[in-house]
Amino acid sequence: MNLYEEQSLKIYNSLSGKKELFQPINEGHIGMYVCGPTVYSNVHLGNCRTFMSFDMIFRYFKHLGYKVRYVRNITDAGHLVDDAEDGEDKIAKKARLEKIEPMEVVQRYTVDFHNILEQFNFLPPSIEPTATGHIIEQIEIIKDILVKGFAYETNGSVYFDVKKFNEAHEYGKLSGRKLEDMIANTRELTAQDDKHSPQDFALWKKAEPQHIMRWPSPWGDGFPGWHLECTAMSTKYLGETFDIHGGGMDLKFPHHECEIAQAEASNGKSPVHYWLHANMLTMNGKKMAKSTGNNILPGEIFTGENDILSKAFAPSVVRFFMMQAHYTSILDLSNEALLASEKGYNKLMDAVDAIENLPEGNATDFNITNWQQKCYDAMNDDFNTPILIAQLFDAVKHINLIKEGRELISKEDKKLLEKSIYAFVFDILGLENAQNNNANSDKLSGVVSLLIELRDEARANKDFATSDKIRDQLTELGIQLKDGKDGTSFSVS
């Protein structure tokens, strides 16, 4: 029996605005698509939060026993900088400024993206397709939409006819907008282009002579429109209808709205059962964004080389910090919040480390099965990681009590506790135990154990000057001694 048959998972669906019982299209299988990054600059922490939310969701699905095909694309072409400019896309612009090939830009920042995600202990997606690798598929969809009459060609570009689409379908249903309102609120400033109406969006853009990223098409040389790649790749790898589509909140409109329109125009079906949107990471109360400069790079946090943080923070601490907030809530980054999370993280990890050596009794003072279900209940309620962490701290309390001999745990329950806490902490939340990752940890613990022994001797002789010297100097080195009932342990910060 699979775990998913025992747990009933509810997910907040942006499309309906409600929490819904999750039921995959094919039993035991899940198709999930998440909009990936545009690789024209280093991935910043705000980007990471979205992907981390879906990494956690992916991990939980897998833990429940689902077979998941998780597709997360790399956008390596096609997103325009600005309508007012000449239609140059971000990657081409960056390439021109740096005098390199567009694919060099793409390669550089794709490598950076993977490198950062690895440090955050992400699981790789099942498929990571690129937009430029699916130009043919995109052209086919455009042809299809043209045939169905929901697009028109002007001067070598093809646009989606939103008004026409809205006659038979509902444009704006995801973001709660009405086409009439949008038309009413349009400022006719740019009497610019070839579009019939400002709401229309490009499926294919004609490439001007100076444009370096270009492909041949039935409408001449050009490049695909902003929203088409996700439709092409999700359809190709997950089918015309699939379970989950995720992305950042800021993509809800217009990007996801356009995806729905494209899919419905081409095959008549609503493409996605559950739309999930991860909320923004803010800094100083404002959205983190590349364009405004209000952002921080993961590398700057790991090294502490930045102006807003007082010290460096390990990737797992940052991950823990993010998991302490619900993925649909805005989260504000600050030094104080990270410091608080770091302490909590260390406390959690100390307890996790302690499980293995807990004394075994002939009974157990807390109901582990019951506790375990509370953890699942938290995750089943729209992946509520903050509640899960609260439950984990409940276990931490018991672990510490058992360690001090004030509560008991049986051998079997200890095994159960260890297994489930490892599952929630490492498999589902994706945390890593930074202290155990030290390559020299064996040697270090040998040295510290020796010092602890010397200190104990000094204390036995009431030579407190020596014992305090050992303790204080170790503290200065970042090694904290912890005296307990059964001797002294230590932790490295």
Window 249-288: residues binding RNA (CB under 7 A)? 249-255, 278, 280-282, 285-288
User: Which one of 56-64, 72-80, 133-141, 296-304 is the stretch in contact with RNA (CB under 7 A)?
Assistant: 72-80
Q: How far is the CB of 46 from RNA (least distance, A)?
A: 2
Using CB under 7 A, which of the segments 138-146, 322-330, 422-430, 446-454 binds RNA? Answer: 322-330
Q: Is 189 exposed, middle or buried (0-12, 13-18, 19+ CB in 10 A)?
A: exposed
Cβ proximity to RNA, 2 vs 186, nearer residue: 186
Q: Shortest approach of RNA to residue 345 CB, angstroms?
A: 8
Q: Which of 142, 170, 149, 111 is nearest to 229 (CA)?
A: 142
| Interactions with RNA, residue window 176-215 (CB under 7 A) | 176-177, 181-182, 185, 198, 201
Q: Which is nearer to RNA, 24 or 78 (CB)?
A: 78
Distances (CA, A) of 264 to 113, 141, 171, 224, 237: 32, 11, 10, 18, 17
Greatest Cα pair distance in the chain:
93
Among 73, 344, 368, 413, binds RNA (CB under 7 A): 344
**Cβ atoms within 10 A of the Cβ of 447, count?**
12
Report 351-380 residues binding RNA (CB under 7 A): none
Minimum CB distance to RNA, residue 326 (Å): 3
Rounded to a whole number of angstroms, the minimum distance from the CB of residue 463 to RNA is: 9
Q: Is 79 in the site for RNA (CB under 7 A)?
A: yes
401 binds RNA (CB under 7 A): yes
**Burial of 130 from C-beta contacts in 10 A (0-12 / 13-18 / 19+):** middle
Stretch that binds RNA, among 25-33, 114-122, 262-270, 325-333 (CB under 7 A): 325-333
Residue bearing tokens 């104990």: 456
Minimum distance from residue 74 beta carbon to RNA (Å): 10
Tell the burial category of 415 from Cβ atoms under 10 Å away from its Cβ (0-12, 13-18, 19+): middle
Q: Which is nearer to RNA, 107 or 334 (CB)?
A: 334
Residue with Cβ nearer RNA (163 or 347): 347
- 129-158 residues near RNA, rule: CB under 7 A: none
> Of the two residues 29 and 343, which places its CB atom closer to RNA in the complex?
343
Give the binding-site size for RNA (rule: CB under 7 A): 89
Backbone angles phi, psi at 284, to 5 degrees: 55, 35
d(CA 372, CA 392): 9
* Cα–chain center distance at 30: 18
End-to-end CA, the chain: 42
**Hey, CA dihedral for 9, 14, 19, 25, is it positive or negative?**
negative
- Interface with RNA (CB under 7 A), residue from 394, 427, 434, 449: 394
Residue 389: helix, strand or coil by DSSP?
helix
Interactions with RNA, residue window 24-63 (CB under 7 A): 35-38, 46-47, 49-51
Cα separation, 396 vs 398, in Å, equals 5
Instruction: Spell out, one character per residue from 462 to 481, where the chain touches RNA: x when CB under 7 A holds, - when not.
Output: --x--xx--x--------xx
| Binder of RNA out of 24, 31, 247, 430 (CB under 7 A) | 247
Residue 443 touches RNA, criterion: CB under 7 A: no
- Closest approach of RNA to the CB of residue 421, in Å: 14
We find the least distance from the C-beta atom of residue 278 to RNA, in angstroms, to be: 6
**Near RNA by CB under 7 A: residue from 29, 269, 406, 443:** 406
Residue 428 Cβ, how far from RNA at the closest point, in Å? 16
With CA atoms as reference, report the closest residue to 282 among 337, 245, 344: 337
Report yes or no: 430 and 55 within 8 Å, Cβ to Cβ.
Answer: yes
What 3-state class would DSSP assign to 403?
A: helix
Exposed e or buried b per residue across 68-87, where buried means at least 16 C-beta atoms within 10 angstroms of its C-beta: bbbbbbbbbbbbbbeeeeeb
Out of 126, 270, 400, 410, the residue judged to bind RNA by CB under 7 A: 400
